[in-house]
Amino acid sequence: MEEKKQKNYITDVAAVAEISKTREDSTPQNREVITTRPRPSADSLCCPYCESVKFTRRGFRQKKHERVQLYLCSACQRTFTARLTKGKRYPLAAILDGVSIYNLGYSLMQSCRALKERFDLDIGPSSLSNWVEEFSDLCRFCRYREFAVKMYRPADMIEQATLAHQQLYRYRYHRAKIDLIIKEDIRHRRFHPLKEFLELVSSECPHQYFQEGLRASESPLAFSKKAMIVRGKENYATRLAAFVLQAVAERKQRHEALQKFMIANDSVTVATEVPVYLRQEDLEHLQTQLGFELYNKSTSGEMEPLPPPAVPRLITGHIDLLQIRNGQIHILDYKPQAAKARPIEQLTIYAMAISRLTGLRLYEFKCAWFDEKDYFEFFPLHVLYKTKTSKRRRRVQTIEGVYDINLDPNRITSLRPVTI
């Protein structure tokens, strides 16, 4: 049988909205297609038996619709595949897309027709229904779906815009989800300014700023890490990342695949690739009127006080994932090998920017970075504003355990609790 090169769609909601009117010619209907499952990024792969990351490739296992890469663990000498969902007849990419298309509001039959055009697979409504039920614990938007379809047509559920900001960013905004989140929980009703801001991004984003300004990840701004903590945990985001990244073939596609799946299927992600910016007058206001501590990165690696006239003229960035949950707005950034990353400055700048753009207090925001194993979060307000009480504290009790208050202003010394 011939092999067919399969595109990595993973929840291409823009294409689904049109039910694939511009697809390439598919393989003849009477021909059975066998694909090779994309090899996951090494960062997301480990032995499921002993969790070792030392392994070698050991041939393939031939299935009806795909060819599966096998790996041999160097530690326990057991053979494994790179997916958690074993025993599935269809490729994981088709399963993920099927669940995502259905959660956009399309019927089971419409979703199956879209999968037929994408993958040339004859998937029945009963199979798709079983997948939706099986992965309902991960795809929690299912509890909102029946209400969302009454509010918006499937093609209008998610607003999309491609932003040419030195490189292409795909902005997505889930209209139905943010309406339901704000309506459901009284704690979220004060976030209407965020909804208004997201609704205007596509039409009123000042694109020229993103051609001229510094990127947040390259900004010379620095912040004191003293008198704060970073909490390390595993949560729903890490589980979703571990699930979705099994179907991603190339590293550069990880952000896009994860964003597409989370915006369509989880119950808290309301927008992806949100463009934000901070102007010089914004930084001066935060520094002089609110008392936020801003520093400059010196060549020696130490922080130097930054006088108001010396603040950057313009800083821009794009927030990977924006969520509303538990009475707060969460700014998330996917970072492969998250345990080695320390994007405190980048995420704090995002929080400052969206706080200024929406008029919401910085108190309302939390920042986090994550991968499929770890999730690290902190309060940006604790980075920028140091109270006398916070300077005296030495330890903080949390659900995960007891954390030492960070005492080094230049770096975070620990991401884990000292006692559990």
Q: What is the pLDDT of residues 152-207, one digit of tens each?
A: 999 999 999 999 999 999 999 999 999 999 998 999 999 999 999 999 999 999 99
Higher pLDDT, 358 or 18: 358
Q: What is the pLDDT of residues 328-353, one digit of tens each?
A: 999 999 999 999 999 999 999 999 99
Q: How far apart, in whole angstroms, are the C-alpha atoms of residue 178 and residue 72?
A: 45
| pLDDT band, very low/low/confident/very high, at 65 (cuts 50, 70, 90) | low
| pLDDT band, very low/low/confident/very high, at 6 (cuts 50, 70, 90) | very low
**Summary mean pLDDT of the chain:** 85
**Percentage of the residues of the chain whose pLDDT score is greater than 90:** 57
Instruction: Identify whether 5 is part of a domain.
Output: no
The DSSP call for residue 364 is: G
Q: For position 12, what pLDDT does the model report? A: 55
Q: With 80 as the cut, is the pLDDT of residue 10 above it?
A: no
Task: Please indicate, yes or no, whether residues 264 and 378 belong to a single structural domain of this protein.
Answer: yes
Instruction: Identify whether 166 is part of a domain.
Output: no
Q: For position 33, what pLDDT does the model report? A: 37
Q: For position 93, what pLDDT does the model report? A: 87
Q: With 80 as the cut, is the pLDDT of residue 125 above it?
A: yes
| pLDDT band, very low/low/confident/very high, at 84 (cuts 50, 70, 90) | low
Q: If you average pLDDT over residues 259-267, what whole number do you get?
A: 96
Higher pLDDT, 365 or 25: 365
Instruction: Identify whether 193 is part of a domain.
Output: no
- The winner for highest mean pLDDT among 218-227, 280-289, 326-335 is 326-335
Task: Please indicate, yes or no, whether residues 211 and 350 belong to a single structural domain of this protein.
Answer: yes
Which contacts qualify for 304-309: CB closer than 8 Å, 24 or more apart?
306/221, 308/284
Local structure of 181: helix, strand or coil: helix
Domain boundary among 135, 162, 184: 135
- Torsion, Cα 388 233 350 173, to 10 degrees, reads -140
Q: If you average pLDDT over residues 94-119, what whole number do you get?
A: 95
Task: Please indicate, yes or no, whether residues 356 and 214 belong to a single structural domain of this protein.
Answer: yes
Task: Please indicate, yes or no, whether residues 128 and 264 belong to a single structural domain of this protein.
Answer: no
Query: How many domains does the structure of the chain reveal?
Result: 2
Domain boundary among 95, 113, 135: 135
Q: For position 55, what pLDDT does the model report? A: 84
Domain boundary among 92, 113, 135: 135
Q: For position 247, what pLDDT does the model report? A: 81
Instruction: Identify whether 198 is part of a domain.
Output: no
Q: With 50 as the cut, is the pLDDT of residue 224 above it?
A: yes
Residue for token pair 């030495």: 394
Question: In 10 A of CB 234, how many CB atoms?
Answer: 14
Q: For position 13, what pLDDT does the model report? A: 45
Q: If you average pLDDT over residues 20-28, what whole number do you get?
A: 34
Task: Please indicate, yes or no, whether residues 272 and 398 belong to a single structural domain of this protein.
Answer: yes
Task: Please indicate, yes or no, whether residues 78 and 221 belong to a single structural domain of this protein.
Answer: no
Instruction: Identify whether 4 is part of a domain.
Output: no
Q: Containing domain of residue 263, as a range?
A: 207-404
Instruction: Identify whether 161 is part of a domain.
Output: no
Task: Please indicate, yes or no, whether residues 100 and 236 belong to a single structural domain of this protein.
Answer: no
214-215 and 314-325 beta bridge pairing:
parallel
Task: Please indicate, yes or no, whether residues 368 and 241 belong to a single structural domain of this protein.
Answer: yes
CB 95 within 8 A of CB 145: no
Q: For position 270, what pLDDT does the model report? A: 98
Instruction: Identify whether 355 is part of a domain.
Output: yes
Instruction: Identify whether 164 is part of a domain.
Output: no
Q: With 50 as the cut, is the pLDDT of residue 106 above it?
A: yes
